[in-house]
Amino acid sequence: MARLRVGLAQINAVVGDLDGNAARIVAAYDAAAAEGCDLVVFPELTVTGYPPEDLLLKPAFVAAAGETIAKLASLTGDCAAVIGFPEQADDLYNSAAVCARGQVLGVYRKQLLPNYSVFDEQRYFKASTEIGPRFEIAGLSVAVSICEDAWEPGPIVAMAQSGADVVVNINASPYFAGRVRQRETMLAGRAVQTGVPIVYVNLVGGQDELVFDGASLVVDAGGAVVGRAKQFEEDLLVVELDPATGAAGRIEPVLDPVREVYEALVLGTRDYVRKNGFTDVLISLSGGVDSSLVAAIAVDALGAEHVNGVMLPSRYSSEGSVADAVALSERLGIRTYLVPIEPAQAAFEGMLAPVFEGRAPDVAEENLQARIRGNAVMTISNKFGWMVLSCGNKSEMATGYATLYGDMAGGFAVIKDVPKTLVYALCRDLNARVGHDVIPQAVIDKPPSAELRPDQKDTDSLPEYDVLDPIIEGYVEDDESVSQLIARGFDNELVRRVARMVDRNEYKRRQAPPGVRVSRKAFGKDRRPPITNRWPG
């Protein structure tokens, strides 16, 4: 009976890096061939990285990607390779080339082009209506499909009906919390529906807002997971696939839900920093839980020696703020600087006194402090070439409880898609996992405060976070209306106030740095409301 030895080459491709991606493909191909694979499968648009966005509008880029796939095909031997690339024919297609023995044996063109959420594939590609060729590999008939093709029954059912023994599905499937289980449930159902095993290969790595989480897998014809690659790491998973008798491969565990988010944040941060040519980062440490978590993530992403903290106390900072930041820094082993901002604050107040004559202090003076800090971290960043990581969480981004050009300043906003309640869970989970308080308990225990005026607390302006976060989830992630939220039992006045805050602060979010998407709807390309908008929610 025919058996297929297949390698799932879960690589970390870099957008636009055609030569680098080709080298990554060749290395994984050689490793798979050395392990005796009949077939090695790479992710969607392997050659360009995903998503290449408007690079696809550049004819020279698309032409170069075509030349790269031809060169890669010429390097193949008996082991076949499925490699994703943008294919310029009568139109542009999101395609997979099947290559072996120095040639492109055939090409499959994606049929279902996602154009929702973070996806804009109809901006670039034409949808194919063909189920594509079958490939005889190791005595089995192999069909190829791409990502979205698996999420509707049509394409894979047609492939099975046309006689495929195995369906390959190549992906660039971005992470959000719980996504692995959703994928596996869908794939198991599709395998059972069609009676064919599915080889699902995902990209891994961070690209701007997105993290591709890997976790490539094989489901057998009965829907059982018979192989699973690592989450959040490059991997080459080899699975022996026998459609008649089943299959066997390494099965990596799925991380628990909170840990999974943490690892997504680590990978997203590491790749954004490094792929953009930076080695070191700078974090403004307030002694609060957000900046403490970001510092811990940065250390896991880049190593403590590449993480720099700066403490920027003002006249309103509590004693504990600097002490807590110092305690954190010592536990993480990172370098810190202390720059009290009083001189700049006093200078600005003097400069603006004639303009502000007769006006009482208000939120303008609070934002002024935050922007002095923003300026200080950016000036240090410019001087030393360190990327600033900003520390705003999703609850703040949603409500606009943040200062534009102040605490929002930075190259990457690590936890912008993490609600405050999840920030606490991540801190607790981290401390429990490492077995000691990396995040000092005092940081977790104290009431959140921006410390921009005497005795300020977040709850002066916002409801408690365990009340606020579910409203944000309903309004932002589920597009529930104000009326629906009230009908679900949330306080009428509170829901209206939160909806208004969310909508009125779109202008701020539009100027925020990118950050890692970990929810099913993040601010950024995932959610595109107008700024000018009179709909009351």
Q: Which of 110, 275, 416, 508 is catalytic?
A: 110
- Least CB distance to a second copy at residue 383 (A): 4
305 touches a second copy by CB under 8 A: no
- Token look-up 């916002």 returns 462
CB of 405 to a second copy, least distance (A): 4
Residue among 38 and 208 whose Cβ is closer to a second copy:
208
Tell whether residue 303 is a contact of a second copy (CB under 8 A).
no
Q: Check if 44 is active-site.
A: yes
Is residue 92 within 8 A of residue 124, CB to CB? The reply is yes
Dihedral of alpha carbons 523, 526, 527, 532, sign: positive
CB of 285 to a second copy, least distance (A): 14
Side chain identity, residue 396: E
**Which residues within the stretch 54-83 sit at the binding site for a second copy (CB under 8 A)?**
54-55, 57-61
Amino acid at 34: A
Position 502 contacts a second copy (CB under 8 A): no
Quick check: 83 and 97 in contact, CB under 8 A?
A: yes
Q: Cβ 348 to a second copy, closest distance in Å?
A: 5
- Alpha-carbon distance of 4 to 240, in angstroms, equals 6
Residues 44 and 76: beta-carbon distance below 8 Å? no
* 301 lies in the site for a second copy, by CB under 8 A: no
Judged by CB under 8 A, the number of residues near a second copy is 84
Q: Closest CB to a second copy among 7 and 52?
A: 52
Q: Which of residues 306-345 bind a second copy (CB under 8 A)?
A: 310, 337, 339-341, 343-344
State the SS3 of 443-489: HHHCCCCCCCCCCCCHHHCCCCHHHHHHHHHHHHHCCCCHHHHHHCC
Rounded to a whole number of angstroms, the minimum distance from the CB of residue 368 to a second copy is: 5
Q: How many CA atoms lie within 13 A of 345 on its CB side?
A: 20
Contact window for a second copy (CB under 8 A) among 36-44, 186-194, 256-264, 477-485: 477-485
DSSP string over 207-275:
ETTEEEEB--EEE-TTS-EEEEPPBSS-EEEEEEEETTTEEEE-BPPPPPHHHHHHHHHHHHHHHHHHH
Task: Name which of 350 and 489 has its Cβ closer to a second copy.
Answer: 350
Burial class (CB in 10 A: 0-12, 13-18, 19+), 254: middle
C-beta of 27 vs 363, nearer to a second copy = 363
Task: Say how far apart CA 388 and CA 378 lie, in whole Å.
Answer: 7
Cis ω before 51 (30° cut-off from 0): yes
Q: Does 357 bind a second copy (CB under 8 A)?
A: no
For residues 430-469, which are near a second copy according to CB under 8 A? none
Within its chain, how far is the Cα of 470 from the centroid?
Answer: 22
Using alpha carbons, list the distances in angstroms from residue 245 to 195, 242, 248, 356: 13, 5, 10, 81
Residue 219 tokens, joined: 């489901």
Q: Can residue 279 be called a binding residue for a second copy (CB under 8 A)?
A: no
- Minimal distance, residue 489 CB to a second copy, in Å: 17
- Asked if residue 429 binds a second copy (CB under 8 A), the reply is no
- Alpha carbon distance 388, 219 (integer Å): 42
37 belongs to the catalytic site? no
Residues between 194 and 213 with contacts to a second copy, criterion CB under 8 A: 206-208
Please tell me whether residue 14 binds a second copy under the rule CB under 8 A.
yes
Residue 350 interacts with a second copy (CB under 8 A): yes or no: yes
Residues 88-127 that bind a second copy (CB under 8 A): 115-116, 120, 122-123
534 binds a second copy (CB under 8 A): yes
Stretch binding a second copy (CB under 8 A), from 149-157, 224-232, 316-324, 347-355: 347-355
Residue 477 interacts with a second copy (CB under 8 A): yes or no: no
Q: Which two tokens mark 74?
A: 């010429």
Which one of the spans 34-42, 83-91, 355-363, 465-473 is the region binding a second copy (CB under 8 A)? 355-363
In angstroms, give the least distance from the CB of 281 to a second copy. Answer: 14
Among the listed residues 79, 99, 147, 391, the single catalytic one is 147
Q: At its nearest, how many Å lie between a second copy and the CB of residue 112? A: 13
For 68, the 3-state DSSP assignment is: helix
Q: CB-wise, 36 or 59, nearer to a second copy?
A: 59
- Catalytic sites, residue numbers: 44, 110, 147
